[in-house]
Every structure is written in structure tokens, then in C-alpha cells.
Structure 1
Amino acid sequence: MDLDRLDSSTSVFLSQREKKLKTALFSIGASSFLIVLKLVFGFLTNSISIFASAIDSLFDLSASSVNYFSIKKAEKPADKEHRFGHGKAEGLAGLFQSFIIGLSSIYLIYVSVKRLVVGSQVHSLDIGILVMVFSAIVSFFISRHIKKVADYTDSVALSADSLHYRSDVYTNLGIVLGLIIVKITGLLFIDSLISICVSLYIIWSTTSVFKESVDILMDKELPKSTVKEIEDVILKYQPYVKGFHKMRTRRAGSKKFIEFHLVVDHTLSFVESHNIAEDIIKEIEKKIPNAEVTVHVDPHGFPDYS
């Protein structure tokens, strides 16, 4: 085994794990701050929209908390009972969060419809507008920060968390627009209609997180572009490499598992074949972050009984 490669891989793994956990804790703190802010000013303004937004942030806090513990579990090294690691915990977290976002959106629709039917009075609209503008700005920068870390660490759970806050930006701006229209025209139903439209958009946007999470749990193949990168690396070693077969790929959290049979020239010695396989593994793992590659070497022209 190449100890330098192992040390480098371990160092990157620990660095990404630390970034994920710190970002998840940051998300929990941000959600808590927004909940308190919206509840306080919800009571001051008697605005159902602001209360609904506070409930939305409460769901975010719940999802972020699950996120933190799932990432902590997912990033644990492999053990005797989990030989492939715990990466699928992130897929479960992403699935859970897609349901949470969907439920929060349905709740917003319910509140908006109720407001259309029953009606309500709001006051101190100027304060409410300022608070929601501030919340939208805070949510935007939180979403951007989490998305940056999610892309760097290839984390589905953090990507879902980023979607929470990005959705909150639209929700908050929709509420701001509604409150402004109410202030100018006195037409309360406009606020509810905007909230319903924003909620429907949020539900639609969760489908990508839901699909990605299901793909991880169902061991879907890596994207065709990634598989093509793997194939290009293998074929670079022709004519010593005659081909490959039985390639299987999957993803668990940020970890990517790749395995295939490598067909080499039968005149090569065992050591030469092994070295070629090791070189291919190193190059694939360098090209594809967080990849774990397993290669079985077959001599060309001989039957493969495995």
C-alpha cells in the first residue's frame, strides 16, 4: 500500500470532515438567531406571514440539527460492521430534509389560504418590512457560504441545507413584497397569494435534493462524465492494458466507490501488472476527489472466473 497516498487521503478526509461539521453548527446557530428574530417581531407586528416564516426557520433548525448528527455519523471511518463507511447517512439526511422543506411549504400554503378566507389585521408594517429584508439578506449570505462548503466537500446534506436558506430568501422577499403592497393598497389577499406562489416554488425546488438522496441510497452509478474520466485514464495505459470490464461505481455521502477488472498483456510479470494497476488507481483518485478505487487484474486471453 502507498503510505504517502494514504496519509494524503486521510488528511483531506479529516479537513473536509471538519469543514462539514463546522458549517453544520454554523447553520444551527443561524437558524436559531432567525427564529428568535422573527418570533419577536411577529408578535410586535401581528403578521401571520412573519410567524409563518418563523415556523419555516424552526423547520430549518430541525433539519440542520439532523444534518449535523448525520454528517458526524457519515464521516466516521469504516469499521468492522460498516466496511464501506457511513456515507449513506448523508443520503438519509438529504431525504429527511426534502420532506421537511416540503412540509414547511405546505404549512405556508395552509396559513396563506387561511388568511385569504378569514382575513387578519397587521400593524407596524414598516418594522415588519425591515425585519424581513434583513432576514432575506442574512439568509442569502448563509446560503452562499453553506453552498460553497457543500460544493468543496461534495456533501448532499449541506447542499440541502443551502437550499433551505436559498428558499428562505425567496420566502422572505415574497413576504416583504406582500407587506409593501398591503401597506400601499390595504389589499391583504395579495400577501397570501405571494406566499402561496413562493411555497409552490420551494416544493418544486426540493425535488432535486430528493432525487439525489434517493440515488445515493439506491447506489446509482456515478454520472456519465465521471465514468468517462475513469475510462480515459485506463485507456491511457495501452498497449499494456488491453481493456477493462465489470466496472461498477456508486456514491455514499461524499465518498465515491469505483471498481473494475483490468485486462493486461499476459506477458507482463505479476509485479509489472500490479504497478500498472496502482498507477491507474493513483491517477483516478487524483482526478476524482474522495474516490476509493478497487481493481482486479486479469491476464489478456485467459478466462475470467470471478
Structure 2
Amino acid sequence: MNEKTKVARLSIASNTILTLGKLGIGISMNSVSVISEAIHSGLDLLAAILSFLSVRESAKPADERHQYGHGKFENLASIIEALLILAAAGMIIYNAYPKLFRSAEVHALGLGTVVMGISAAVNFFVSRKLMQVARKTESPALAADAWHLRTDVYTSLGVLAGIVAIKLTGLTIIDPIIAIAVALLIVKAGIDLIRDSMHSILDVNLPEEDEGIIRDILREHSSSFVEFHKLRTRKAGSQRYVDLHLVVPSEWAINKVHTLCDHIEADIKARLKGALVLIHTEPCAMQCRECSQADEEKKRSIKCEPVQGAPTTCRFGPEK
């Protein structure tokens, strides 16, 4: 069992216990805010199950039907988890809104305080562990699960504050107000998750920092090719995809071009975890005499400028 699967199972176990505990205590207290937290934890449980299934599926190697791998299963799971969060928020508001206009007694405030405190502590520990593994493995499904639980920490603390406020003031209207505030926090978390996951589903390019690393690596090898263009990047799950066109001297043998591409690919993979690199090579169309006349020693001695765009003179000819 790999690290991602282990931590996903931990999330399932903790959410199962918290959901059952909150639901039983919320019903006994007649507290809509505690019941709303039980609903939230129930959706977190479903999200944890989806996260577990998606990380297990995404770990499978590419096959005949999924030739680019299974990374996007994690992005799909993140979107489904976010939609479940929004559904939970709607249910909470639906149940809490009528209680703004009619009072309802809330019982066993001390018990509610205990369960909310335990919930916040457990979810903080599990969400921190999930986030550590998500960052290490760049797993969007685990990151979504971690944010669910981190939101649950904040909302549990909010409900805890509401219970204390009711105990001090006797104003039961605080209960539905807290529940609606919880729902609004959940809505924000859901929208953020959908936005982030859609970037990968729609093949948005890698962050500027990642593309900058790729361009820096190409500049390091710039003395060995004429120019590059059509750099394209995208991400699926934790996998990065990079493809580009590389222009090389037309006189070069295929094995020499292949070796150059191997070196570039190896450098990109070393600095961008999970990168899959595809390089399409093209012969230089300028067909300069200097290319065929230059010897290997002189080619290595030429100091090249950053290369983007067609060169005005052949950089592989004899030094003047």
C-alpha cells in the first residue's frame, strides 16, 4: 500500500467516527448547527472515499485505453468532491433558515462543546497529514480532501463558539446563524476546489514558475541547438506534460540529435517531478555553409545567447 492510499484510508476512518458522533449528539441536543456539522462530516466521508478510489486508480500505469495514464481521475474526483460540498451547504441553509424566525431550545450544551472540540482536534491532525502527503506527491484529490477537513476545523470551532455564546446569553437564534455561516464557508471552499480542478481538466498550462524552469534548462543547452518554439505544457493529476519543437543543424546525425533530446528530457524530469517530455526535432531551414564546415571543437566553444526566434546568422559556423 503506497503512502497516498494509506493517508486516504486514515481520512475515511476519522470521518466515519466523527460523522456518527456528531449526528447522534446533534439530534440529542436538537442543535441545527451540530447537525449541520454532521452533514458536513458525512460529505467529507464521501469525499474521502472518492479520494481513496481516485488515488488508487491514478496510480495505475498507462494502458491501451488510457495511453496518457490515469492522472485525471484525481482531478475528476476533486470536482465531484467540490460539488458534494456545495450540496451540503445547500442542505444546511435549507434546515437552518426557518429557525431564524422561530426559537428552538438547544439541549446538552456541554456535550456539544466536547464533541466540537474533539472534532476540531482530530480534523486538524488528519488534514495536516493529508496536506503533507498531497504536497509531496502533488495529488489534487488528497489536497481537496485536506481542504475539506481544514474547513471542518474552522467550522467546528465556529459551532463551538456558537454553543458557548448560547450558554452565556441564552439566545438560541445564534445556532442557525452559526449554521448559515458554516454553509457560506463551505460554499467558498467548494468554489475554490472546482476552479483549481478545472484548470487541469481544461489543460491549462503549468504555472509560470514551472515553465520558467523549463526555459532555464533549455537556455543551459542553447549552445547545442538553433532555437526552440511551440512550448506547450499541461498537468493531469500529479503528472506534468511538456512538449516542444527543437530546431537543430541540418547536418547533424540522428543519433546526435537523439542524445541531445535525452539530455534535455533528463534535466527537465530531474527538476520537475512527474514530468513526461516529448521533443519534436526539426532541421534548420537556413542551410548555412558554416554548419557543414564547423568542426566539433569549434561548435563546443561557441557561446550562445538565449535562443527564441529565428537566428540572423548561423551560430554553428567557424568563429570569426
Q: In structure 2, what is the Cα distance between the partners aligned to 1:240 and 1:206?
A: 48
1:107 aligns with 2:95: no
User: 1:261-282, CA deviations, whole angstroms, 9 ceiling, x for partnerless residues?
Assistant: 1112334332222111101000
Change (3 A) 1:224 1:152: same
The range that moved more, 94-103 or 118-127, is 118-127
Gaps of 5+ in 2: 288-320
Match of 1:196 among 175, 180, 204: 180
1:255 aligns with 2:239: yes
Match of 1:174 among 149, 158, 179: 158
Displacement of 1:189 in angstroms is: 1.0
Q: In structure 2, what is the Cα distance between the partners aligned to 1:140 and 1:187?
A: 29
Q: In structure 1, what is the Cα distance between the partners aligned to 2:26 and 2:189?
A: 27
Q: In structure 1, what is the Cα distance between the partners aligned to 2:221 and 2:285?
A: 18
Which residue pairs with 1:148 in the alignment?
132
Which residue pairs with 2:6 in the alignment?
22
Equivalent residues of 2:75, 2:140 under 8 A apart? yes
Change (3 A) 1:298 1:160: same
1:79 aligns with 2:63: yes
Whichever residue aligns with residue 193 of structure 1, its letter is I
Equivalent residues of 2:31, 2:175 under 8 A apart? no
1:187 aligns with 2:171: yes
User: 1:61-104, CA deviations, whole angstroms, 9 ceiling, x for partnerless residues?
Assistant: 11111221122222211001111011111111011011111111
Q: In structure 1, what is the Cα distance between the partners aligned to 2:226 and 2:3?
A: 41
Equivalent residues of 1:102, 1:202 under 8 A apart? yes
Whichever residue aligns with residue 131 of structure 1, its letter is V
Which residue pairs with 1:285 in the alignment?
269
Q: In structure 2, what is the Cα distance between the partners aligned to 1:208 and 1:171?
A: 17
Displacement of 1:20 in angstroms is: 1.4
**Residue 293 of structure 1: SS of its match in structure 2?**
strand
Displacement of 1:302 in angstroms is: 5.9
Whichever residue aligns with residue 18 of structure 1, its letter is N
Equivalent residues of 2:32, 2:175 under 8 A apart? no
Which residue pairs with 1:165 in the alignment?
149
Q: In structure 2, what is the Cα distance between the partners aligned to 1:302 and 1:208?
A: 49
Equivalent residues of 2:130, 2:145 under 8 A apart? yes
1:234 aligns with 2:218: yes
Q: In structure 2, what is the Cα distance between the partners aligned to 1:302 and 1:86?
A: 42
**Residue 114 of structure 1: SS of its match in structure 2?**
helix
Which residue pairs with 2:117 in the alignment?
133
Q: CA RMSD in A?
A: 1.6
Q: In structure 1, what is the Cα distance between the partners aligned to 2:284 and 2:221?
A: 14
Alignment coverage as a number of residue pairs? 287
User: Scaled by the length of structure 1, what TM-score is found?
Assistant: 0.89
1:57 aligns with 2:41: yes
**Residue 69 of structure 2: SS of its match in structure 1?**
coil
Displacement of 1:142 in angstroms is: 1.1
Which residue pairs with 2:292 in the alignment?
none
User: 1:136-174, CA deviations, whole angstroms, 9 ceiling, x for partnerless residues?
Assistant: 111111111111111111111111101110111111111
Which residue pairs with 1:68 in the alignment?
52
Equivalent residues of 1:234, 1:241 under 8 A apart? no
Equivalent residues of 2:106, 2:172 under 8 A apart? no
Whichever residue aligns with residue 8 of structure 2, its letter is A
User: 1:246-289, CA deviations, whole angstroms, 9 ceiling, x for partnerless residues?
Assistant: 22211111111111111123343322221111010000001001
Q: In structure 2, what is the Cα distance between the partners aligned to 1:48 and 1:83?
A: 48
Displacement of 1:244 in angstroms is: 0.8
Equivalent residues of 1:181, 1:191 under 8 A apart? no
Which residue pairs with 1:5 in the alignment?
none
Whichever residue aligns with residue 197 of structure 1, its letter is A
Equivalent residues of 1:277, 1:295 under 8 A apart? yes
Gaps of 5+ in 1: 1-16
Q: In structure 2, what is the Cα distance between the partners aligned to 1:39 and 1:207?
A: 26
Whichever residue aligns with residue 15 of structure 2, its letter is S
Equivalent residues of 1:74, 1:85 under 8 A apart? yes
1:39 aligns with 2:23: yes
Displacement of 1:135 in angstroms is: 0.7
Whichever residue aligns with residue 160 of structure 1, its letter is A
Whichever residue aligns with residue 47 of structure 2, its letter is A
Larger Rg: 2
**Residue 222 of structure 2: SS of its match in structure 1?**
coil
Change (3 A) 1:288 1:129: same
Q: Which has the higher helix share?
A: 1
After superposing on structure 2, the runs of 4+ consecutive aligned residues of structure 1 that deviate more than 6 Å are none
